[in-house]
Structure 1
């Protein structure tokens, strides 16, 4: 239906999360129709990102500088490290504007089904950071999935010999959530994590 350049663009767009072949075809058509206002600037932005974005050697974040802006910021609290599964978790934490410490990106979670073991994650660098004497608290912000919780327990066990306190994010009823619509696991986690009012 289209030339090889457009078909290649559609195939690449279809590899993005949340885009299937139909959505990719619509996105490609939308971009081509708006070549001057969207396609050309987007292609330049993608080229710039490919040329400049790198992984922070300290925490694993993506930035155009190494160390990243968060690790290089002297106003951030170096005594707290928030451990996240991937960069999207770091970005989610930053959106809240509440955490003023530093981060550590694992690069995934332990998963026996997927063959991902401790050696496949950025755990040794975390342990080294926890032993360096600057860190007093490690906050485990892995997902509430089986693999996320397994990873958190594994890391907590490995941190037992480090001079840091280990904490985790609370799990339970989301803001605005109604009990009737929540699953049993969420309600149980909320009940176990209850606090005085």
Structure 2
């Protein structure tokens, strides 16, 4: 335990996701030893992002305006919506350059242990986007973990009644992976998603 401000900084840094006690301590001491101007820029960046950035009123992605750049882009296909858990997932899909539709950010996934149910996610907003008959396909791109699967299952059951085509991202073996190290679920999904080779 350190005195006063140093320990407070370590404690606050330790509350960040993915930052454990050792990492928090390393970051705190880096901040102490860093140039004052560099740290002022860091502080200003944090303050600016908290003041300027909000969530898109249409899809829930991060935006500095009322709507995000993707929702404002007339070249995007309005008939397909890719449903993701977080804004960072939008960036991951965009990097593939394989999807030209629009997005819907749920703001998390169903996790009963953490007290997060469907009502805490942006599912009502998704349903309201489907009322204009323009959307023809919903692509569910939640994480392939327990919470993501629960969310996907919930969405599939709910969206089936609407009559819109619902698809789920394929999952399987990673490029460069070895079969012997694949878990049963991943290997099973790879078999289910197999394609004909021409």
Settle same-fold status: TM greater than 0.5: yes
Counterpart of 1:152?
152
Partner residue of 2:41?
Answer: 41
Q: Report how far residue 59 of structure 1 moved.
A: 0.8
Distance change in 2, residues 1:49/1:132 (3 Å): same
Verify the 8 A CA contact 1:32 1:39 in the aligned structure 2. Answer: no
Distance 1:159 1:172 in 2: 24
Confirm whether residue 5 of structure 1 aligns to residue 14 of structure 2: no
Number of residue pairs matched by the alignment: 197
Whole-angstrom CA distance in 2 between matches of 1:35 and 1:5: 18
Equivalent residue of 1:186, what SS?
Answer: helix
Look up the match of 1:100. Answer: 100
User: Shift of the alpha carbon at 1:122?
Assistant: 0.9
Match for residue 56 of structure 2? Answer: 56
Aligned twin of 1:65: 65
2: CA distance, partners of 1:163 / 1:75: 26
Counterpart CA distance in 1 for 2:113 and 2:4 is 38
TM-score norm. by structure 2 comes to: 0.91
Structure 2 residue aligned with 1:31: 31
SS in 1 for 2:113: coil
Deviates most, 23-32 or 106-115? 106-115
1:134 corresponds in structure 2 to 134
Tell me the distance in 1 between the aligned counterparts of 2:118 and 2:18.
29
Ranges of 4+ aligned residues in structure 1 off by more than 4 Å:
none
Higher mean C-alpha displacement, 112-121 vs 122-131: 112-121
Structure 2 residues without counterparts, runs of 5 or longer: none
Task: Give, in angstroms, the shift of residue 2 of structure 1.
Answer: 5.3
TM-score by length of 1: 0.91
Unpaired runs of 5+ residues, structure 1, are: none
Aligned residues of 1:136 and 1:163 also touching (Cα < 8 A): no
Partners of 1:161 and 1:5 lie apart in 2 by 56
Q: Distance in 2 between matches of 1:17 and 1:107?
A: 16
